[in-house]
Amino acid sequence: MMKNTLYFGSMALVLAFALIFVSVANAQNVTTNASNAMGNASASANQTAGNITNKTGEAGQKIGGIFGNITEKLKEAIGTK
């Protein structure tokens, strides 16, 4: 009787540890997945912001080029070139 009780008690203890380990491992996995998702979202937002900045810079250069051409044309028309 004592051996049976000890055996079942040991088995219950091993099962309890296994369940706790699985729960902790699953929680760590969920946390890692959430962290990776946030990192990916942040990288995507940074890339989008970088693309917008590049396009804004390109537009500024084009506008600057247009004004530069207009200035040159005005100088030519006035004769101050």
Residue ranges making up the domain that contains 73: 1-81
Interval 11-62: pLDDT, tens: 888 888 777 777 777 777 778 877 877 777 777 777 777 776 777 767 777 7
**For the chain, how long is the longest CA-to-CA vector?**
116
- Count of domains for the chain: 1
pTM of full prediction above 0.85 = no
Q: What are phi and psi of 69, to 5 degrees?
A: -65, -40
Q: Are 81 and 72 in contact (CB under 8 A)?
A: yes
Could you tell me if 15 and 8 are in contact, meaning their C-beta atoms sit under 8 angstroms apart? Answer: no
DSSP 29-47: HHHHHHHHHHHHHHHHHHH
